[in-house]
Amino acid sequence: MAPAGTGSDTQRRAGLGRRVVGSFVRRREASILLIAAALFVVFSFMNSAFYSPDAIRTMADFAAPIALITAGEVMVLICGEIDLSVGMVFALSPIIMYLVSASPPDGAGLPIWLGVILGLVTGAAVGVVNGILTTVLRLPSFVATLGMLFFLNGVNLIALNGFQVLTPGGHTFRLITGNYIPQLLFNAEFFWAVGAVLVVQFILSRTRWGLHTIAVGGNMIGASEAGVNVNLVKIGNFVLATTLAGLAGILDSVRITSILPLQGGTGVMFQAVAAAVIGGTALIGGAGTVFGGFVGVVVLSVLNIGFNIVGVSAFYFDLIIGLAILGSMIANVQLGRLKNVAGLQ
């Protein structure tokens, strides 16, 4: 404890440089960022097409929807739960948008913005149900959202009768949701994803909600003894996750110009969970960052596109992701243990 006054002032100023370096070393997302950069360099040396605008754009296309889903999934994981249903909400929200805004007789022919809103509200409603199943009815979130996963898959197939349809919406709508903007290299969805990552990271590290989310995941009983409404925090984060998943689904349906009942699904969900874990989020809750999750998404997309371009079989992609998850979890557990040992001495 430094005494108040000039002493602590100089100490704080001297600590700034060290703090930047120190926090970089301490933060797990920093080390994974280095890995992402290293992968990028390796692939670039192996094939110059890897850093071409086309390849980078393809990586951004791959990353954007997963980044949106991951941003919400990280929050759910930090408060000590998991949401397996986000991939199905990813498919559900654009279907709702289609049913609302497609021209009759396929849809209700209402304005596209109303379709978007109702699509997002439906996504949020799934989050409310997931949250209530987990908190009020006390199901483990793994089971609650597993049930929701299958249920929504059925809903999606029934709603479109198993068929693929065209995404509704006019030119302006396409421009702001999913189309390429030639001057900006990336498609609009990517910018939505970056915006979402920034906003959710701000919520996590700079607001009371974020603090309470970490508290609920770190010590649930303690947080409630301190007066935190644990159920509200959990339900709120489930809603955040499914709403972002619904937004990702709507934006992605514009980019690919069609809506499929089997779009997304368990594939994007598991990639989001993998990205969160690779980015340093603890599956037991209480720790993690949205930035880390985003870097995890970047690693996944660099690997995915990199393997494609250098001509490695796609079979290796899952193999590498498996190793990356195991490796980062081992680092998670062992670094945490080392930190505790060091802290007690």
Give the three-state DSSP class for 180.
Answer: strand
Among 99, 223, 250, 309, binds other proteins (CB under 8 A): 223
Among 47, 179, 219, 266, binds other proteins (CB under 8 A): 219
Query: Rounded to whole angstroms, how far apart are CA atoms 313 and 38?
Result: 21
Angstrom distances, CA of residue 113 to CA of 65, 110, 249, 260: 20, 9, 15, 20
Among 111, 195, 222, 267, binds other proteins (CB under 8 A): 222
In terms of phi and psi (left: phi > 0; alpha: psi -120 to 50; beta: otherwise), the region of 299 is: alpha
Among 74, 76, 214, 324, binds other proteins (CB under 8 A): 214
End-to-end CA distance of the chain: 18
Choices 120-128, 129-137, 237-245, 337-345 (CB under 8 A): range interacting with other proteins: 337-345
Asked if 292 is part of the footprint of other proteins (rule: CB under 8 A), the reply reads no
**Which of 156/243 has CB closer to other proteins?**
243
Q: Give the residue from 36, 19, 80 showing the smallest Cα distance to 285.
A: 80
Asked if 212 is part of the footprint of other proteins (rule: CB under 8 A), the reply reads yes
Binders of other proteins in range 146-165 (CB under 8 A): none
Please, what is the minimum distance in Å from the beta carbon of residue 294 to other proteins? 20
Among 287, 290, 295, 305, binds other proteins (CB under 8 A): 287
Please, what is the minimum distance in Å from the beta carbon of residue 231 to other proteins? 13
Asked if 211 is part of the footprint of other proteins (rule: CB under 8 A), the reply reads yes
Rg (CA), the chain: 21
Query: Rounded to whole angstroms, how far apart are CA atoms 75 and 210?
Result: 8
Asked if 1 is part of the footprint of other proteins (rule: CB under 8 A), the reply reads yes
Please, what is the minimum distance in Å from the beta carbon of residue 216 to other proteins? 9
Cβ contacts of 138 within 8 Å, gap of 6 or more: none
Query: Rounded to whole angstroms, how far apart are CA atoms 12 and 105?
Result: 67
Binders of other proteins in range 226-285 (CB under 8 A): 226-228
Task: List phi, psi (to 5°) of 281.
Answer: -80, 130
Among 225, 311, 314, 315, binds other proteins (CB under 8 A): 225
CB hemisphere CA count around 149 (13 angstroms) = 19
Among 69, 92, 99, 215, binds other proteins (CB under 8 A): 215
Among 206, 319, 333, 337, binds other proteins (CB under 8 A): 206
**Which of 19/327 has CB closer to other proteins?**
19
Question: What element of type H or E holds 165?
Answer: strand 165-166
Binders of other proteins in range 307-336 (CB under 8 A): none
Please, what is the minimum distance in Å from the beta carbon of residue 266 to other proteins? 30
Angstrom distances, CA of residue 147 to CA of 88, 131, 162: 11, 13, 20
CB hemisphere CA count around 288 (13 angstroms) = 39
Cβ contacts of 306 within 8 Å, gap of 6 or more: 39, 42, 43, 46, 50
Choices 2-10, 109-117, 170-178, 323-331 (CB under 8 A): range interacting with other proteins: 2-10
**Which of 23/164 has CB closer to other proteins?**
23
**Which of 228/268 has CB closer to other proteins?**
228
- Residues lying near other proteins in the complex (CB under 8 A) are found at 1, 3-4, 8, 202, 206-208, 211-212, 214-215, 217-219, 221-228, 286-287, 339-340, 343-344
